[in-house]
Structure 1
Amino acid sequence: MPFHGSNQYINNNYKKIQKNNSLQTLRSISSPNDRKHYNHERVSSFTFVKASLTVETALVLPIFMFAICFMMYFTEVVRIQAEIVNELYKQGKHLALYSYVYNQIECNSIIDSGKIENLVTGSLSNLYVKDQVKKELGEDYFANNNIDNGMSLILSSYIKENDMIDIIAIYKIRIPCNFFHLKNIAVIQRARIRGWIGFEGTNDSNTEEEIVYITEKGSVYHKDKSCTHINLSISYVSMDKIKNIRNKEGGKYYKCEICGDESSYRAVYITNTGNRYHSKKDCGGITRDVIAVPISQVGKRKACSRCGN
């Protein structure tokens, strides 16, 4: 029995020692220093994630903003090109008219046509086009739109190949900021119009061909140059009376889609066969650029319903 009691005493002491060791171990794990270290690791991890997002934003945002600015400036470049090419075609039509005058004077030998010849076929054409473009767009247009050294027309030609007026404009648009070392955008634009000098037939009956009349954007050809579709009768009437006026077919007149947005006019232009009123006499809706060509050159144009039969 004494021996048995000794063993029991030893076992009880051993259990107490194990329990004390476990409590000491738990206290050591749950000590304030360990909790502080654990919290420090969590804060460090969160700070690292937040800092990485800041760095990524700093890298991506400038590139995104630069791309947006570049796209906005690209639309400005398109606007400039549209305005300039529109003026080139407009001045080309003026030269086409002068070429008709020059051709008539040259054929009839009425007066000395030296000045008109220089304007239509010589070096004065470039000066004329440049001067008219500046007048229409404004003297400071090129400087205000970052066009360096103005516009060059050195490659243009007038009444040389197939009686064509070929206006070729070359200019450079400066980019406000350096984009991958691209300082400017080189632009080449072209306006090609046939001079109004008609068509000369031949006396050879084997090669004689019917001459018809077409317009640049028309879809039909005309056998009679006095057809009312191309030879319009233009009248100038008061805006107050336009509601009561009717055309040849009894129809009303409506605002032109091209020039009808003018708000200050008191009188308008109409034709007896049309159904639109115009604030400008040179509006494309009432002007016709008539060209005489052989019937074999009308392309896919159909005969006019009035004079083509």
Structure 2
Amino acid sequence: MSLGKKLYNTNSFAPNWRSKLPVAPVTINKEHEYRKDRCIHGQPPVYKRFINSLKVQEMPFYASSKKASYTIEAAVILPLFISMMVFGLFMFRLLQVQSGVQQAIDYASRTMAITLGNMSNYGESDKDEDISGQEPTIGGEVSEAVLLASTIALSGVEIAKNEVPIGFVDGGALGFDFFDTTVEGNYIDIRVNYQMTFPVGLLGHYSFDVSQRARNRKWVGYDKSENTTDARYVYVTEKGEVYHTNYNCTYLNPSVHRLPKGELSEARNKSGGVYNVCERCKGKDAHGFIFVTDYGTAYHKDINCTEIKHNIKKVLYEDVKDSMRACSKCSAGEKN
């Protein structure tokens, strides 16, 4: 070459040059080979085994080992819970219906009593008359039927006006039975019967029979003789079987005497009878004394015994005349 430089063919010595390059030593990671070997032979890596150890836990004692246990429990408990809630709401509806119906029949009874007066009793007297022996007339039967129909119709109108939820009544508006309503004599007596059924049958078939009543005396005015000769009011006791026309009757307000217990064997009532132990207060301590009445047949160990101290009530005579008999003492005094 003119330049004095020796030219070399690079292709001729390139392979030899690469083969003479130094080679770095290979370092084998023992831990990597160990983990790799473990994965190859079917063992999970350490991180997977750690995760699996977190997932595998013992089931608590209150949990069921069977699958879908919570679903089964919910399928049983949830319908029962809903049924109980519906039952509670249904009771409020029952009270709502009763309240609305009672207001309606009260208003209808008062209105008819004031408006019609003593129409069914021919308007001649405010005293109760026994017309069972009289021959019924066409006019009387028609007027009574019209009066009864008007009373029932007014009750139905008031029920609708009060917005009573009649959808809960069996049969709806036709479920109200006024068959026992009467307008005879001096009273407008409205009686209504109906039935309400629990809408959910899961707890069983529950039906409630409801009976309500409104009774008002016809507006016939005031009569002074009513408090003297008519004896419209009488007196009864809570557990008595007779009614009394005189509040001061000795059976109602007996004269009580206290005696030493030692004098019991010689004590006699005004009828000459002996005193036997009272079954109601025989278990109490007499403290050395007993209590007797003039016409009684028993001695008492307690002065507050209900056989001595009566709960006296003043009631209408016509309310008890058919169910109770007259006191022999009061009746005898009146007849004499």
- Do both share a fold (TM > 0.5)? no
Largest Rg, 1 or 2: 2
Which structure has greater helix proportion?
1
| Structure that is richer in strand per residue | 1
TM-score range, shorter chain: 0.3 to 0.5
